[in-house]
Amino acid sequence: MKRKGIIYYGTLLSLVSILASCSNTKYLPANDALYTGATVNVKGEDLSRKKRKAITSELNSLTRPRPNKKFLGMRFKLWVYNIAGNPKSETSFRGKLKNKTGEPPVLLSQVSLSRNMAVLENYLENRGFFNAVVRGDTTVKNKKASATYTVRTGKQYIIDTVRYQMDSSFLSNTIRQTEQNTLLKRGQPFDLDIIKAERDRIDIYLKDNGFYYFNPEYLLIETDSTIGNNKVNMYVILKNGIPKTASEMYTIKDVVIYTNFRLNAESDTSKRGGTLHKGYTVVDRNKQYKPYLFETAMQFEPNDIYNRRDHNLSLTRLINMGVFKFVKNRFEKVPNSPFAQLNTYYYLTPYAKKSLRAEINGTSKSNNLVGSNIAVSWRNRNTFRAGELLRITASGGAEVQYSSAQRGYNVYRLGLEGALTFPRFLIPFFRLDTRGAFVPKTNILLGYDLLNKRKLYTLNSFRASYGYAWKESLYKEHQFNPIAINYVQPMNVTYEYDTLMQKDPTLAKAIEKQFILGSTYNFTYDNRVDKQKHASGFYFSGTADVSGNLAGLIFGDSANGKSGQIFGATFSQYVKGELDIRYYLQTGTNSSLANRLIIGASLPHGNSKSLPYIKQFFSGGSNSIRAFRNRNVGPGTYYDSTTSGVPDQTGDIKLEFNTELRAKLFSIIEGAAFIDAGNIWLYNNDTLKKGAQFSKNFLKEIAVGAGLGLRADVSILIIRLDVAFPLRKPWLPDGQRWVIDKVDFGNSTWRKNNLIWNLGIGYPF
């Protein structure tokens, strides 16, 4: 049956391809042909295989026009364009189909061999192939045409000598100081891009050493290719007649900040009403800001040598404060000064002081609960006149059962949170700052949450934290909370939940009283933040979480015969760490392979036999192992079908691996194929959960699933739909855990029990 299906669909696909191909050439103009693309054949002396392949690829990308796009071997958009015919209106269905979805044919008459040959020769000359020859020809068959370009590169010219030919001026001497760092290296191939980069390198060095008005166009790099043996000499020289301003090193005279600038107003240069503070003047006529607010941002002081690095750093820090909507900067030569001096002016347009924001979102979970959450946030910027941000947020939401073979319980949430952020480090008796482009922040947070799981229980949760967040660079970020407090108290536990706990005592973990008094630290490195979506890159996040250690030293713990309590509440004691490592490999222009490894481990001690419930690891769900329901994997080989109404398994140790191939299909639609694997375990043995403890056989207890997904990228967010099924079930007897041979998509019972649908926002990782 399967073989017949494959033959049927294969034949159908071939037939559609043939019909589409015929349609695509049927409507071509007379005496013309459909252009199918170009081929470049490179023949070069002394070219390695790798270099020839790279040059061929680059030359192929330069030929124009590009042929019609293909999908599964067919020019689908061209076919749509043709079958739409000649609609009377562009706004009609056929008109939109033709002009929006379709693509007009690319014709042989649009191809200019001479232009393409000139482009290819120019590219080769810029790479040092001064004797390159390019020939082009076309081939036409069955109303389809292609172009072929034969390239003979000749030998590539190599740099022999690099000389900085300068006079004795201060500017020339400064340029000579950079000679040892030149990008023009003896023995390297001639390359126009490297020459341009060398000019930019010298310009950057000069800008960082006071030459504000210098321009890379004032530099010439001359090439002498007449010395023979396919070698060139290169001479770095200054143009004749460059302006005097470009050859002077400038220092800073006045630094003036205008705190309430309107974009349509003229730029002010008056210091009237200003306050002088540590070398800069703050013109704040409404007294809205304390002058020390700008200490961390201002990198220039009077008499400093102009430096473009500090110039950009000041602007970036002012923007990253989160207080000013627009930041404008201007440097002005001091008139009638006997010295080369600059005045610098900063024009700041503030955000509205107070604002109200509402957010609403929807969720769909793999345990068949759907819901929404609404949050209303009031913000007060510059609360204490030094850039502070006060945010008070009230939120409410619900998750309700819509359909399931399993029993479910509706969930309702209410929350209130207050957060105060300072744009600097607040450390008692100590002053600390960072030199990067990002302003450090001190965060104080207080929050309350109420969770009501209908017919089961209600939880009160109080949380507070004091900590710091700072970016070391664009790629590196730190978050450190020396004080992090969570207090969870159950209330209104129903008779129904008591009955469930009698059947499965492990459910008591979800409603136990929890008091966490500790510290957390997180470090994140992500070198893809400034790259395109499918670019290759690396992501790392490491988190350390400790609780109760200091309290244990002061108050003692139950392991030492003490109460282990503060204000009558037993505090948790543990050490927890988690690593999230991701590697993204670009496999094509619009495709990539994403990989993630999660390793989490904890050591409960003293008062705690396991992690507090809200700190434990879980596995399964839309961002985890998608072939299993949310929190329904493990721990270990443990499985209890009697708690199907409340699937909520957690553990102290976690291992998970995910790999996903992502590729654009068409328009805003992307496809994905993925494999997920992993499990969780308990650190200590639990007699109520047989097989849950971590052991040397942990690799034999891994759950594995696979699936396919579709994603709609609508710019502001990505809507994701994944369907997955298990390949390995760890709770089955050893030797029977792989269930690949039982996969049967044609069986409705198998689909009902094994196909898991996941709807999510954003990528899973």
* pTM beyond 0.85: no
Q: Does 60 lie in the same domain as 167?
A: no
Mean pLDDT over 558-581 rounds to: 78
E strand map for 616-731: 653-666, 669-681, 703-713, 718-728
Count CB neighbours of 11 within 10 A: 10
Residues 13 and 102 in one domain: yes
First to last CA, the chain: 38
Nearest partner of 341 among 417, 252, 411, judged by Cα: 252
98 in any annotated domain: yes
Of 93, 117, 152, the one marking the end of a domain is 152
Shared domain for 209 and 133, answered yes or no, is no
For residues 259 and 226, membership in a common domain is answered with no
Q: Is 591 inside any structural domain? A: no
Cα gap 755→765, rounded to integer Å: 21
> Which of 322, 350, 378 finishes a domain?
350
pLDDT at 644: 45
Q: Do 623 and 765 meet the contact criterion of CB atoms below 8 Å apart?
A: yes
Which tokens go with 405?
């073979």
**Claim to verify: residue 211 and residue 275 sit in the same structural domain:** no
Its domain, for residue 126, covers 2-152
Which of 87-115 are b and which e, b meaning 16 or more Cβ less than 10 Å from the residue's Cβ?
eeeeeeebeebbeeebbebbebeebebee
Token representation of residue 709: 């997904």
Position 37: which residue type? Answer: G
**Is residue 450 one of the residues assigned to a domain?**
no
Q: How confident is the model at residue 643 (pLDDT cuts 50, 70, 90)?
A: very low
Please give the single-letter amino acid code of residue 182. T
180 and 200 assigned to the same domain: yes
Give the whole-angstrom CA distance, residue 578 versus residue 656: 11
> Does residue 258 contact residue 275 with C-beta atoms inside 8 Å?
no
> CA nearest 132: which of 148, 150, 147?
150
Residue 129 is assigned to a structural domain of this protein: yes
CA distance 286 to 273: 10
Tell me the pLDDT tens digit for each residue of 489-544.
888 888 888 888 887 777 777 788 888 888 999 999 999 988 888 899 999 999 99
Mean pLDDT value across residues 746-760: 86
pLDDT score for 280? 93
* Measured distance CA(373)–CA(360) in Å, rounded: 6
Backbone angles phi, psi at 289, to 5 degrees: -130, 140
Decide if 297 is inside a domain. Answer: yes
**CA dist., res. 663 & res. 85, Å (int):** 31
SS percent in the chain: helix, strand, coil, step 5:
20, 40, 40
Q: What is the mean pLDDT of residues 572-583?
A: 93
Neighbouring-strand partners of residue 655? 599, 679
Q: What is the pLDDT of residue 329?
A: 92
For residue 462, what are its two tokens? 């109080």
pLDDT interval class at 367 (50, 70, 90): very low
Last residue of a domain, one of 152, 170, 191: 152
pLDDT confidence bin for 421, thresholds 50/70/90: very high
Q: How many domains does the chain have?
A: 3
CA-CA-CA-CA torsion sign (364, 365, 371, 372):
negative
Cα Rg of the chain (Å, integer): 34
pLDDT value of position 5: 45
Determine the pLDDT at residue 763: 86
Helix axes 2-26, 76-83, angle to 10 degrees: 60
Q: What is the mean pLDDT of residues 648-658?
A: 90
The rounded distance, in Å, linking the Cα atoms of 344 and 324 is: 18
Same domain? For 122 and 170 the reply is no
CATH number at residue 106: 3.10.20.310
**Position 20 pLDDT exceeds 60:** no
Q: Which two tokens stand for residue 275?
A: 């306050």
Cis peptide before 764 (omega within 30 of 0): no
Residues 59 and 40 sit within 8 Å (Cβ to Cβ):
yes
**Phi, psi at residue 261, to the nearest 5°?**
-85, 135
Q: Model confidence over 176-218: pLDDT tens digits? A: 999 999 999 999 999 999 999 999 999 999 999 999 999 999 9
Cis peptide bond upstream of 635, omega within 30: yes
74 assigned to some structural domain:
yes
Confidence of residue 7 (pLDDT cuts 50, 70, 90): very low
Q: 352: Cβ–Cβ under 8 A, 6 or more apart, which residues?
A: 381
**The predicted structure's pLDDT at residue 717:** 77
* Amino acid 366: pLDDT: 43
* Cβ pair 692, 634 in contact under 8 A: yes
Band of residue 567 on the pLDDT scale cut at 50, 70, 90? low
pLDDT the model gives residue 560: 64
Q: Tell me: pLDDT of 12 over 60.
A: no
Least confident of 82-86, 123-127, 394-398: 82-86
Stretch 552-561: mean pLDDT, rounded?
Answer: 66
Residues 204, 270 within the same domain? no
E-strand stretches of 119-273: 133-141, 144-152, 158-164, 219-224, 231-238, 251-258
Asked if residue 740 has pLDDT above 80, the reply is yes
pLDDT at position 79 is: 86
In this structure, how many other beta carbons lie within 10 angstroms of the beta carbon of residue 149?
21
Three-state DSSP state, 287: coil
Q: At what angle do helices 49-62 and 113-126 cross, to 10 degrees?
A: 140
What string of DSSP letters covers 606-624? TT-SS--GGG-B---STTS
Select the more confidently predicted residue: 563 or 349.
Answer: 349
pLDDT for 416: 95
H or E segment at 491? Answer: strand 476-491
More confident residue, 219 or 606: 219
Closest CA to 579 of 634, 632, 522: 522
Q: Higher-confidence residue: 679 or 77?
A: 679
SS3 category, 640: coil
| Beta-strand relationship, 144-152 and 133-141 | antiparallel
Strand runs (DSSP E) across 341-475, as ranges? 341-350, 354-364, 369-381, 389-401, 411-422, 441-453, 457-471
Contact call for residues 655 and 642 (beta carbons, < 8 A): no
Q: Are residues 141 and 66 in the same domain?
A: yes
Closest CA to 125 of 56, 63, 191, 201: 191
Q: Are 193 and 184 in contact (CB under 8 A)?
A: no
Same domain, 113 and 11: yes
Residue 69 lies in a domain: yes
**For 335, phi and psi rounded to 5 degrees?**
-70, 145
pLDDT the model gives residue 55: 94
Q: Quick one: 108 and 10 in the same domain?
A: yes
Report the distance separating Cα 265 and Cα 286, nearest Å.
Answer: 17
Mean pLDDT of 69-94: 83
pLDDT over 90 (residue 388): yes
Predicted local confidence at residue 404, as pLDDT: 40
Burial of 456 (0-12, 13-18, 19+ CB in 10 A): buried
Helix (H, G, I), strand (E, B) or coil at 8: helix
39 with 180, same domain: the answer is: no
- Whether 6 has a pLDDT exceeding 60, the answer reads no
CA nearest neighbour of 212 among 242, 250, 178, 255: 250
CA distance 738 to 728: 4
Residue 318 counted as domain residue: yes
Q: For residue 631, how far is the Cα from the chain centroid? A: 26
* Range name among 32-46, 61-75, 497-511 with the lowest pLDDT average: 497-511
Rounded CA gap, 666 and 668, in Å? Answer: 6
